[in-house]
Amino acid sequence: MKFVLATALSLTSLVAAAALPTDEFGPRVNPRLWIYSIKSFKGPGCPDFGKPEGTDRTTRLTFGQNTVDGTEIYYWFVAYPHLRVSTAGETHSWCETEVAYKEFSDLDAKVPANDYRLRLHKNGTRVIATYDLEAGTKATFKFTYEAGDDEITDTVALQGPLASGTYQQEHTSPVSKDPELYKFPKCGTATIKFRTDLYISGEKGKKGVVDSEHSTDKAGKEQYYGIQQGFSYDWEKCGK
């Protein structure tokens, strides 16, 4: 399955993506331009809502991915610098996030459109993180999405002994042959609501940690890039 990074413009917590043309697999089912922005978040894994970006990393949207092989699978990622757990410290952390979506018919985001309906959960959830888990330890990501009156839940489990090394690794939740899609009620606009939980457990004396790539700044403070969660989506054409 071939992926490319979506064309994106990052403006703090707002990012835009433009459709990439392809003729090999027929016309693509997507808007000309779509924008995601964070509306709100709360929880110990994201305590920095409303704080300006500066020296400290903040909870934010990062980048998008999409396939170019005709499968029409899209992901958009949110980074959580404060989301981390260890057997020696906090063993559970969480964040509740709301992401706004809007569609536009022009590349300058001046003309709103409602030609497409956003569909959530095209291909499960992806997570990008670093970890070091001894034998006898286990970490679990649980992603819970609101889907009208129902919920869609994905999990990614990491069983020790397992180590990412210095650099982050990407994992995808198990996906059924026919994924559970949620179609938002309105065309051209949507609010995606989800909760991210991260747990770690271990046998007595066993060590484990799950966090993200980090470094020490000039002031001696450790800066975390943030564990990244990628929600999957696609579209269907709206009737006239």
Q: Which long-range contacts (CB under 8 A, 24 or more apart) does 149-155 make?
A: 150/182, 152/120, 152/121, 152/180, 152/182, 154/121, 154/124, 154/125
pLDDT at 72: 82
pLDDT at 65: 86
Report the distance separating Cα 116 and Cα 127, nearest Å: 27
Q: Are 133 and 161 in contact (CB under 8 A)?
A: yes
CA 172-153-194 angle, to 5 degrees, is 95
pLDDT at 220: 81
Q: Are 190 and 198 in contact (CB under 8 A)?
A: no
pLDDT at 188: 97
pLDDT at 8: 40
Taking the chain (240 residues) in runs of 10, the rounded mean pLDDT of each run is 40 53 64 95 89 71 83 92 96 98 95 96 96 98 96 97 95 86 97 98 97 86 93 90
Number of domains observed in the structure of the chain: 1
Range of the domain at 169: 3-237
Report the distance separating Cα 40 and Cα 22, nearest Å: 35
